Amino acid sequence: MDDLLFSQFIGPKGENLSLLKTFVDKILSEQKSWREDYFACDPSLYQKKDYNSEKLTVEFDKFLERSKKHFPFFHPRYAAQMAKDPAIPTILGYLTFMLSNPNNHAYEGGPVTTEMEMEVVDLLLKMVGYKIGWGHLTSGGSLANMEALWAARDYYKKGTVYFSEVSHYSWKRICKILNIDSFKEISVDKNFRMDCNKLEEELKRNEAMMVMANLGSTGTGSIDDIEAILELKKKYKFHLHIDAAYGGFFRSILLDENYDSSSQQNPLSLHTKKPLSLHTKKQLLLISESDSITIDPHKQGSVSYGAGAVLYKNEELRNIILNTAPYTYHKLDKPNIGMFSLEGSRSGATAAACYLTYKVIPPNNLGIGGLLSQTILASQKFYEMIEQSENYENLNFPDLDINCFYRKSAGKNISEVNELTLAIYFALSVEAENPEFILSKFVLSPEITKTVLPEYENPKGESFIALRAVFMKHWYAESDFYYLKKLIEVLELKAKQ
């Protein structure tokens, strides 16, 4: 496992850059040979060896200088948002095909990368536990969510769409774009999971078209009670879509090299405390019972941004959104993914990046699952460290690897806690100058605050502010949790200032 953790990434201090350079040189060499050998009898259109590239040199130097202002997403000291290094195979796969710029809209636009995409999708179907089904890559989770709801709308024709109040902001926007007026946000419990009793109250009143369950909400990484929602599905007959954009790849922890999770089904295995909680493990195993899933390789799949995916169990939904064009789709005996997707042009290089990444780091417990086990361990360790702190308190127990916490105050008053917490945020965030660590904040509405922190006074009806740390880099568990210990040291020091 050590080889996997260290060999496939550039590293926080660029430890593997020489390895990357070796492979990049190989890519460029192959590219040169391919271009030279393609109809080698053709003359070169370049009439001289050297052309003036001074402007490129000048602008590229400026470009590199400007790039230094970018946030250090690659480093464990950055824990603010869902950002981390892509794996080396991602960089190599993307670069190899980016140089020829394939478009996976139609087979002829990217024959090799279209086939790669279909292989990646087959792997994702295995990972989520779909025995049958179809899907494709998208530019991100929001587009995947929109397509799934579009297909469901046109397939079922009527009904209300339900999702929790902590769901991704795109869901309300998507409903408006698709002209779906009948949608309802369901309140959450103290663990930021959809309140299934409230959901059933709504289901009794209005027929449901779709219920959307979160498997890793954006704010806290919370996972809805899919087990309870499936029981409601039996009773009320709705389409269950799971937004697993962030959390879907955690199922790889439970899969062996054959993508079999059967060893996880027995009671002893279900109650194994680490690296996953009982709740998280049960819901991950049950996502195979859903009707459609959004999952993002560019989040916990070690791929760079621009790689989402939508998966359908019912292949009839594919035909619902079928579209054609007179100037493309000429090879009808080959897969033309664009005929069944919301997006038109889609990067073939992204498909190649996913393909090579999962050849090297497969989405099972020998690959991606091994990486994500580390992030879960780190998150749980940080939770324990905050529990022992005299100055901070956990907001909730993390279902995945996102931790929210806040400053303790002498009184149980929201205004006082917010003031103390914000002082830490302004010292350890993108708003500070050269902060030792970069965290983000999570803002709760007054209504959710009342549910999660009922013992706190809130006479002004304020929103509650918590600190938020995304421990999605596997580095946090390394060297006896070195970076977590450093973060705690800094937090405690800031609390005393």
The pLDDT, as a whole number, for residue 48 is 86
Mean pLDDT (the chain, rounded)? 93
pLDDT for residue 161 is more than 90: yes
The pLDDT of 301-329, averaged and rounded, is 83
* Statement to judge: residues 161 and 148 lie in one domain: yes
| 379/340 same-domain check | no
280 pLDDT higher than 70: yes
**Residue 410: its pLDDT value, please?**
87
CB crowding 375-394: b at 16 or more within 10 Å, else e: bbbbbbbbeebbeebebbbb
> Looking at the structure, do residues 325 and 418 belong to the same domain, yes or no?
no
In this structure, are 329 and 185 located in the same domain? yes
Please write the tens of the pLDDT for every residue from 228-260: 999 999 999 999 999 999 999 999 999 999 999
Mean pLDDT across 425-434 = 96
Helix (H, G, I), strand (E, B) or coil at 443: strand
Residues 116 and 221 both lie in one domain: yes
Q: Are 293 and 383 part of one and the same domain?
A: no
pLDDT at 1: 54
Q: Looking at per-residue confidence, does 326 or 385 come out higher?
A: 385
Same domain, 140 and 260: yes
Domain that holds residue 382: 370-496
Cα-based distances in Å from 115 to 104, 136, 309, 382: 9, 11, 15, 42
Distance, CA of 392 to CA of 469 (rounded, Å):
14
SS3 percent helix, strand, coil of the chain, rounded to 5, is: 45, 15, 40
Both 353 and 238 in one domain: the answer is yes
pLDDT over 70 percentage in the chain: 95
Residues 341, 460 share a domain: no
For 175, the token pair is 């409903």
Q: How confident is the model at residue 279 (pLDDT cuts 50, 70, 90)?
A: very high
pLDDT for residue 63 is more than 50: yes
Q: Are strands 160-164 and 208-214 parallel, antiparallel or unpaired?
A: parallel
Kindly give the residue spans of alpha helices, DSSP state H, lying in 428-474: 446-452
What are the tens digits of pLDDT across the range 103-160?
Answer: 999 899 999 999 999 999 999 999 999 999 999 999 999 999 999 999 999 999 999 9
Q: Report the CATH number at residue 456.
A: 3.90.1150.10
C-beta of residue 199 within 8 angstroms of C-beta of residue 186: yes
Contact status, residue 441 vs residue 429, Cβ threshold 8 Å? yes
Residue 164 — very low, low, confident or very high, per pLDDT cuts 50/70/90? Answer: very high
Residue 486 shares a structural domain with residue 340? no
